[in-house]
Amino acid sequence: MQDSAEAGALGDPSAGDASARFNALYEAIAPSLYTWAEIKIRPQMRGLVDPSDVVQEVWYRAWRAFNAANFEVESFRRWIFRVAKNVLLESFRALRGSDSLGGGAGESARLRRLAEVPDTATAITRRVARDEGLKLFANWTVGLDEDERALVVHLGLEDMDRAELALRLGLSEATLAKRWERLMSRMAELKTTRDLFAAVQ
């Protein structure tokens, strides 16, 4: 299911060219992407992999691939989180392959890509990185059990197909739906906006 911001930006002829459409979609999804990165990158890894850098790299990769994407068969949210998962996986692989000093050709290429990210995208990343509500929510997920955290990450943020996630977690779809409903009730107490999540009930 497409988010309302996504549907408007993709379907409205008045939205302008591809750049305007992409920027509108990215700005709407950026808080979700940053929160996802905060949750996925464990605190002990923060000195090596920074959530802001991951989100910037996602912008770069997604923008380059945007015109080739088919949003008739896949929502923008699901698509850009596939990009994000690839970026994060590559970051972790690069760490395993780097020497003690870090750097190397891969790191140089990454820094060149980040330098190409425009000021508007960088400003969005800086804004969400300063959002204490997002950090508090990411920290709150640390206290969740593994299945609950999977619901937040995969169902809420990534908008994974429910049947696929239920199979991955070894749950029925009905049980998954009940657990998500209970989790949403608990999250409501945090005053966390539902805008972070896909349009799931």
For residues 86 and 168, membership in a common domain is answered with: no
Question: Among the three residues 108, 131, 154, which one is the final residue of a domain in this structure?
Answer: 131
Is residue 22 located within the same domain as residue 85?
yes
The answer to the question of residue 136 being in a domain is no
What gap in Å lies between CA 189 and CA 140, rounded to an integer?
12
Q: pLDDT at position 119, please?
A: 80
How far apart CA 14 and CA 20 sit, in angstroms, is: 10
86 with 178, same domain?
no
33-85 confidence digits (pLDDT tens): 999 999 999 877 777 889 999 999 999 999 999 999 999 999 999 999 999 99
Residue 201 confidence class, pLDDT cut points 50, 70, 90: very low
pLDDT for residue 100 is more than 50: no
Tokens of 65: 């691939």
Cα-based angle 150, 152, 156 (whole degrees, multiple of 5): 120
CA angle 189, 172, 149 (to 5 degrees): 40
Q: Please indicate, yes or no, whether residues 176 and 93 belong to a single structural domain of this protein.
A: no
* Structure tokens that stand for 14 in this block: 């008045």
Same domain, 154 and 127: no
Euclidean distance between CA atoms 41 and 46, whole angstroms: 7
This prediction has a pTM of 0.82
The answer to whether residues 114 and 186 belong to one domain is no
Q: Are residues 60 and 111 in the same domain?
A: yes
Is 138 inside any structural domain?
no
pLDDT, the chain, mean: 83
Same domain assignment for residues 184 and 124: no
User: Structure tokens of 39?
Assistant: 């949750």
Verify that 95 and 152 share a domain, yes or no: no
DSSP 155: I
Q: Which of 131, 153, 170 is the last residue of a domain?
A: 131
Give residue for tokens 């992407």: 33
Is the distance from CB of 2 to CB of 79 less than 8 angstroms?
Answer: no
* Cα 68 to Cα 76: distance, rounded to the nearest angstrom: 12
* 127 and 193 inside one domain: no
Round to whole Å and give the CA distance between 126 and 59.
Answer: 13
Which of 77, 97, 131 finishes a domain?
A: 131
Number of domains in the chain: 2
Range of the domain at 169: 144-201
